[in-house]
Structure 1
Amino acid sequence: MNYIIHLNAFLDKAAKEKWMVPYHYSLYMALFATWNKLGFRKIFSIRRDEIMAAAKIKAKSTYYRALKDLHAHQYLVYYPSSQRQCPASVAMIPLDGRTRPSKEPPNTKMDTAMVSLDGPLLKTNIKLISNDVSNSLPELEEVLKFFSTNQYAREEALKFWYHHEATSWLTGNTPVQHWQPLAHKWMLNVSKTNNDNNENYDQPF
């Protein structure tokens, strides 16, 4: 891996991307610096707090949004951790058209676990974590509009958004990928709770 060639390729490509904003640049550069320190491993573990600090990103939601965007646009492959005690992993995609990382998740039993990347190259239509923009983390206005369209209470939209914003849009230890089904499930739980509360407790058991 040639440090200068890759970095120049990134800057040239990123300059043409209309969707990129400063936090995409800062996150990529933080990951690139980590990759460089680790000798350009094919896959390496990342710790969220360390990468956020290096990228000067303060909000977890911004961090995950930027990470998913970089994955979706094939700047890297993001492997969420399947175990709470293990960090997530990242594979930086070479920008010179050479071998792409495997889309199979790495073995995360140990922080330093690596996987073989001798399999077939990733195709251009790699199965992405986020297949379209509807899967990105929503802003409050987007949630309010979604709840209104489905005739859900505005108050529940606010509760839903602030709850998940506070938990960094994680379910367990995995970033939320499809928030709309989660919103429907939220309202089903609200409906069930209301029905339980409306039971007539004056009737003898």
Structure 2
Amino acid sequence: MNYITHLNGVFHRFEKDERLKPVHISLYMALFQLWNQQHFSCEFYIRREALMQISKIGSRTTFHKCIKQLSCWGYLKYHPSKRPYPGSKVEMISFQSSYLSNNGHDNTNSGLPSINVKPNKQQDVTRPPNEHEVMAFFKNCNSHFSEAENFYNYYQKTGWKTKNLKPIENWKQAATNWMCRAGKFKPSKDHNQDHLIIDNNKNYDRPL
């Protein structure tokens, strides 16, 4: 997907939609940022607290009203959930084709950067993850979401570096070690337990 073409399309629609207020656009851009971090996947989980902070929305009522309106008005598809984990889901709607049709030509080959929906696996583990990626990984490992929050918050403070101030080369391996230390790791079919260093001493003050 060409994200610049998409943004041109959605801003073109913003301009013509008199129902929108600044809070709607702010929330949409926060969702777009999260969608970008999720490599433009078909749907992804959201956390209200994080989105409210990014979009600068101070009221839960305003947040729920705006996201439901964006869904009703055709900017996205909102799938609310009453369960805190894994939470509600959002499916973003592409405006790339509408922009191309309105302009009468295809800009996808005009030098604009494109995004491949399928992420590179090596980049997936070497770059610092976002909170939603961490939550999904811990869920896949059958670990409690509180462990995911503790892991994410700890390494956010350290800048995703080891105690030797070296960047973490594989955050998924670091997360696996964290779960082992917490004594709550239940490996899935994708994990090889022979490569794990198991330590049941739970100490969040000690870097991995």
Q: TM-score range by the shorter chain?
A: 0.3 to 0.5
The two structures have a TM-score, normalised by structure 1, of 0.47
The two structures have a TM-score, normalised by structure 2, of 0.46
